Amino acid sequence: MTVALLISTYQWPEALDLVLKSVLQQSVIPDEVLIADDGSSQPTFGLIKKYKDAGLPLKHLWQEDKGFRKSQILNKAIAASDSDYIIQVDGDCILHENFIEDHKFNARKGNFLFGSRVNIKEDAVEQILPGKRVKFGFFSRKVSRRTRNLRIPALSSLYKETGELSRKVRGCNISFWRNDFIAVNGYNEDMTGWGKEDSEMVVRLLNSGVMGRRLRYAGIVYHIWHKEKSREREVINSGIQAEAIENKIIRCEKGIDQYLQVESVHS
């Protein structure tokens, strides 16, 4: 079983720097690190080169900045992957040192995993970014939702699979088999702008018979506070998701299949 870590990013190299630093400190290093870049400029390119030189097995997938097109760049990145299993995070989520190990250990055929996130407080961001801090103890005053910062693998194993869509599904902490993702045609590129692209894809996984399992007390990430993105497309995207639920849609029309033969990777 080979594993790819998929990291989405856009114009925040300072945060991506901490995410990649936390990847270097993982107890299990992924076979691939896929950077799904929705149009970042040169500072991100220089940062990625630094981590390539440090030995991370990086692939940088980039597309021109034409607005929020996260679904498209995620599809392109997964199409370029050679791995069996995809672990997905956002470029503003620092990884606990056992994050990859936890997702890999809990991976089961016929399941996808979804975890939660510990929130780094707004007033702590100005210290964390320049200080390049990537570890946060349970009693740290820099984080909220501390119970999510407990890693207890024995408790994690008690969570059972479900065929229901959980409100706790977040694209910043989810993992799935690449073949399952391809079977539902990946992310729906009719969904542009912020919101619901992750849960709509999960709806189609569930409709196809893939069950979800919550990753609690394991698979921890630390979300760096930032201002919220525009939600102007959220109502439209919610409608697409509602249709997938009502009509039990499995495959979207505009998805990953258009990239499976042609792959573009930055060297």
Q: What is the CATH number of domain 3-259?
A: 3.90.550.10
Does the pTM surpass 0.85? The reply is yes
Which residue type is seen at 26? Answer: Q
DSSP 44-89: HHHHHHHHHHTT--EEEEE---SS--HHHHHHHHHHT---SEEEEE
Which ranges in the chain belong to alpha helices (H)?
A: 13-24, 42-53, 70-79, 99-106, 125-131, 153-156, 178-183, 197-207, 234-246
- Cα–Cα nearest to 106, from 92, 123, 76, 85: 85
Burial level of 10, CB count in 10 A (0-12/13-18/19+)? buried
Q: What integer pLDDT is reported at residue 177 of this predicted model?
A: 98
Per-residue pLDDT tens over the stretch 132-154: 889 988 878 888 878 899 999 98
pLDDT tens column, 198-247: 999 999 999 999 999 999 999 999 999 887 766 777 889 999 999 999 99
Q: Are 206 and 180 a contacting pair, CB within 8 Å?
A: no
